[in-house]
Amino acid sequence: MSTGQGTGSGGRAIEVRHLRAFLAVADAGSVTRAAARLRVTQPVVSRTLAALERHLGVRLVDRSTHHLALTPEGVAFRDRAAAAVGAFDEALDPGRLHARPLRVGHAWSAFGPYTTPLLRTWQQRHPGTPLELLRIDDRTAGLTRGEVDAALLRGPVDTPGLVTEVLFTEARVAAVAADGPLAARASLSLADLAGDAVVLNTVSGATTLALWPPHTRPAATVTVANTDDWLTAIAAGRGAGVSGASTAQMHPHAGVAYLPLDDAPALPVLLARREGPGHPALPRLAALAREIVAREQRTRPRDSGAERE
């Protein structure tokens, strides 16, 4: 059945099966896995995808590596294709819930203390739409690459094409070696960390040297690419780190002590999505996230340090 787009430059009508093949490849990251999911052969998927690209006149998938990746045009087209397929399915069977998973990325600490309440409440209210929480070590947690539908991010995000909403803010904490001299302190200041190296996650972290005043910036930095390496470097005494209070809750480490950081500004926690229609369940996710934060903040002890107004 045709989508009604006409024949375009490819000379043949584009049908819903072309969109389904593209979405399967985008989700699976592989033509082979997409073919298995669609129960067709690999050449069929390749030909179908190629026909769609010819029709649109753009390359949607970068085939230069074994792990396929969407091009920027593919990322932009993915939401439109998913919306079109969803509308088509709903028109044929309005009573059937579309069960495409809602994928939410995060680079570390997810939704902090609200992670479990969010997942449990979503499952209770929306069992027909699985919520998948994916850790992706990237500043936008895979959102700009089209790997997820939304992302929970920390710190300011100025990436073009993204829409963000601040859900809550959390206090920042210092992370120091558990057997080091700073671990015995009740709290620390940014100046206390400036005498030694600071460990920065330059791939997905929210802390940069700009957090310190120019006259008290750390003398040296150690750069890492993910939270696991960040913790390992701090435990080994290579330097101290700064993160949000949720990191202390979600990533305890025997070799790392987390201490309040008295003079650091609060860290905003954002829900981000791409511009455009996106996954149909995104408005429900945003509403539930706001509800969970409001509910938990009413009942959570005020001295927990997890959030600041």
In this predicted structure, what is the pLDDT of residue 242?
98
C-alpha distances in angstroms, 27 versus 79, 86, 98? 12, 15, 16
The residue with greater pLDDT, 99 or 241, is 241
- pTM for the predicted model, two decimal places: 0.73
Task: Mark out the alpha helices in the chain (DSSP H runs).
Answer: 16-28, 31-38, 42-56, 72-92, 115-125, 190-193, 227-235, 245-250, 282-299
Compute CA distances 171 → 26, 92, 154, 166, 260, whole Å.
37, 49, 12, 14, 8
In tens, the pLDDT along 123-147 reads 999 998 999 999 999 889 988 878 8
The Cα 88–Cα 65 span in angstroms is: 32
Question: What 3-state DSSP class applies to 112?
Answer: helix
Region of poorest pLDDT, from 33-42, 49-58, 71-80, 85-94: 85-94
Whether the per-residue pLDDT at 272 is higher than 80: the answer is yes
| Cα–Cα distance, 98 to 83 (Å, whole number) | 11
Average pLDDT over residues 152-158: 92
Alpha-carbon span 241 to 94, nearest angstrom? 52
Which of 1-10, 71-80, 184-193: highest mean pLDDT?
Answer: 184-193
* Per-residue pLDDT, 105: 95
CB 15 within 8 A of CB 3: yes
pLDDT in the model for residue 304: 44
Please state, in angstroms and rounded to a whole number, the distance separating the CA atoms of residues 179 and 295.
Answer: 38
Residues 281-302 have pLDDT tens digits of 999 999 999 999 999 888 876 5
Mean residue pLDDT of the chain comes to 87
Q: What is the pLDDT of residue 26?
A: 85
CB atoms within 10 A of CB 42: 14
Give the per-residue pLDDT at 301: 60
User: 63 pLDDT band (50/70/90 cuts)?
Assistant: confident
What pLDDT is recorded for position 28? 80
Domains annotated for the chain, with CATH where assigned, are 8-92 (1.10.10.10), 102-164+268-304 (3.40.190.10), 172-260 (3.40.190.10)
